Amino acid sequence: MIHHLRAAGTSFVLDARGTAVPAVIHFGADLGELDQHALQNLAEAQRPAIGPSSIDSPLTQRIVPLMADGWSGRPGLAGYHEGTPISTLGVQHTASLRLRETRHAGLNLSLVLETIPPVVGEPDATALVAEIDIEMSAQGVVRQRLSVRNEGSSVYSLASLDATLPVPARARELLDFTGRWPRERQPQRHDLGVGTWTRDSRHGRPGHDAAFLLVAGTPGFGFRHGEIWGSHLAWSGDQRLWAEASATGHSLVGAGELIEPGEVRLATGETYRSPWLVSAWSANGLDGLAERLHGFLRSKRPLGERKLMLNTWEAVYFDHDLAKLTRLAETAASVGVERFVLDDGWMTGRTDDRRALGDWVVDASKWPDGLHTLIERVHGLGMDFGLWVEPEMVSVDSDVFRAHPEWVLSAGNAELPQSWRFQQALDLSNPEAFAHVLGQLSALLDEYPIAYLKWDQNRDLLGGSAHRQTLACYRLMDALRAQHPTLEIESCSSGGARVDLGVLERTDRVWPSDTNDSLERQSIYRYTAGLVPPEFLGVHLGAPTAHTTGRSHELSFRLATALFGHAGIEWDLTTASETELDAIRVWASLYREQRALLHSGVLVRADDVDPARQLHGIVAADAMAAIFSIVTVAATRDSAVAPVRFPGLHPDLVYRVRAVKLGEWPRVLQDAPPPWWVHGGVTLSGRVLGELGLTMPLLLPEQALVLHLAAV
Ligand code: DGJ
């Protein structure tokens, strides 16, 4: 049978006739209502001619690409049964599969494949059963995951199990991401020539340089144009994302967990299950892709109102002093902060980053009454309380290490793994280590009214099994959430080294980067929000001079930047002037007033004619309102820059456009502003705003102007 899944203008067609490994014959534009007869004609129309010097049947791109089916590119499944005689090893490596069963219910498909018995040896000695779950969401997002069960008589050592998706020949350009601390998710593009483009992560976390989202599209695709296919692996450990174009004309993207030799060995009856590969198609460039992916994540992880928070890290670092923190909390409450998060430095002996990880006990010398006095004050000020933890780590200078040096995650050598930020990872797949951490964290959550944990992870693993550690970390998060169902968790990893949909299945916020430099944050937001909806993305108002870059920015630019996302403050507000605090109050009340829109609307990013000027915004789902930010990331190319066009509005609605003053206006260099500015706003149709646009004041570099649009 040929299966046709359809939602939100997207079709996914899978040819599962006969016993061959099924083939995805279309993932893209909606093909309309099609019966089996029409689907068969469609499938026939896609079968290629058979060329000379090739297999003698049409080469089809199967959902598990295998050498046995004529595919000489990267296989979907690789591994071998240990102890198999060398004479039959080739059979095991290529794992010939056939379809045993297909289940189709609504937008869900489930395929069961089995190995074709080898011609030599015991028929069942090398048996495998592979299952593939394919789901299309209401937004047209397709996610798939695979599992493989060893039904053979010896251990099956899995090398790789990747989910794949064919992309049409016209998708010749690739976009993915790289970065470093604290400069995550920087885009990189190139042509997909014949060969394979592979992005491996061996950090034990996706990493600051994670590929993040692999997009293949028609050349030149942008935020608002081009046909694209984007894929993300929902996994927080080692991983491989790749795209391959074959000289046969077939192209595909694939991804799976990166499994080290011997890391996944399945005894008879054991199963390995891959992470989800989450994919979406868009005819409208990256914004169309983001809209689908945001809808998908919002449906899976609905969030409550995102509280405006203050995080103490860049305000006090390890210098935890009750009087100082109380003053900070009072100032925070006075500007409208709703959550106070005590960052690193509260545990026994944690005077710097060289000690005390793994001992999740409040330092009695800094906190004679424990955290009670601070928390009571925070609650008295009308805020709730959050606490920083780093549960997967241990310092050599800690009680837990002194008692259990064997709990360190390592490859089993006599020497400790390379130290990283002066710390080691704790092997959470060790049940005793796991129980220790769970016990200490549970005790904290039982003793104190903690609404929120900032869950940090500050090193690459560099040894031990990233596979087992990642699963154990998920189990730990799940166990704590089960014990404390209202607990919110933020995923932080030296900033943004663990931003993925695997961790977001069990956390409520990611910290995209350790930089609070607004200029850096503009591009980090622009691209991280291409997958993760803004309400999951922490963004903090930092100090006037950014700690990570030494760059200084005016308050209005920092406030405009920190409006888009889940907002917070990470600055010693006790050093801010009254004028600054007043501006922050205006911003905080704007955030509270507009967060329903900012956290539910449709993301709009536009390419401007002038590369120094960027526009991003959020348009309400019903298009009745919008908030945009025009940002100068450098000196503009032109002296009298062209009008800014506002995409994403309803063409037939008429909008009142007004500029929003965040304490002070952004800095301009002009003899006179555009006339509409003098009149305090302008009323224009969505069509005019989208097609012709609106002239802007001449902003100096590193300034941002926030505009509010309301349908009249
Ligand atoms: C790294 C995080 O990214 C920072 O925000 C902060 O929490 C520090 N760790 C604390 O050690």
pLDDT digits (tens, 9 = 90+) for 641-653: 899 999 999 999 9
pLDDT at 94: 60
Is the pLDDT assigned to residue 456 strictly greater than 90? Answer: yes
From 69, 162, 209, 456, the catalytic residue: 456
Report the C-alpha gap between 529 and 525 in whole angstroms: 6
How sure is the predictor about 413, in pLDDT bands with cuts at 50, 70 and 90?
confident
pLDDT at 157: 95
Q: If you average pLDDT over residues 478-485, what whole number do you get? A: 98
Shortest-distance atom of ligand 1 to CA 514 = 3
Whether 456 is a known active-site residue: answer yes
Instruction: Write the residue with the smallest CA distance to atom 11 of ligand 1.
Output: 344
CA angle 232, 460, 276 (to 5 degrees): 20
Predicted confidence (pLDDT) per residue in 550-601, tens digit: 999 999 999 999 999 999 999 999 999 999 999 999 999 999 999 999 999 9
pLDDT at 298: 98
Longest CA span, the chain = 87
Place of tokens 């005894």: 267
| CATH class of the domain defined by 603-711 | mainly beta
How sure is the predictor about 664, in pLDDT bands with cuts at 50, 70 and 90?
very high
Whether 517 is a known active-site residue: answer no
pLDDT at 356: 98
| CATH class of the domain defined by 2-300 | mainly beta
How sure is the predictor about 125, in pLDDT bands with cuts at 50, 70 and 90?
confident
Percent of the chain with pLDDT over 90: 94
* 651 prior amide bond cis, ω within 30: no
CA 336 to centroid of ligand 1, rounded, Å? 24
CB within 8 Å of 532: residues ≥ 6 apart: 297, 499, 504, 510
Predicted confidence (pLDDT) per residue in 335-383, tens digit: 999 999 999 999 999 999 999 999 999 999 999 999 999 999 999 999 9
The finding on whether 344 has its CB within 6 A of some atom of ligand 1 is yes
308 vs 95, 339, 416, 419, 628, CA distance in Å? 53, 6, 41, 36, 20
Instruction: Write the residue with the smallest CA distance to atom 8 of ligand 1.
Output: 344
Shortest-distance atom of ligand 1 to CA 388 = 7
pLDDT at 124: 81
The finding on whether 495 has its CB within 6 A of some atom of ligand 1 is yes
The finding on whether 702 has its CB within 6 A of some atom of ligand 1 is no
Report the C-alpha gap between 164 and 167 in whole angstroms: 10
CA 510 to centroid of ligand 1, rounded, Å? 12
Is the pLDDT assigned to residue 92 strictly greater than 70? Answer: no
> Domain residue spans in the chain?
2-300, 603-711
Is the pLDDT assigned to residue 296 strictly greater than 70? Answer: yes
Predicted confidence (pLDDT) per residue in 243-280, tens digit: 999 999 999 999 999 999 999 999 999 999 999 999 99
Report the C-alpha gap between 425 and 433 in whole angstroms: 11
CA 293 to centroid of ligand 1, rounded, Å? 28
Q: E strands along 235-312, which residues?
A: 239-245, 251-257, 264-266, 271-273, 276-282, 309-311
Q: If you average pLDDT over residues 64-79, what whole number do you get? A: 94
Q: Which residues of 396-405 are buried (b: 16+ CB within 10 A; e: fewer)?
A: bbbebbeebe
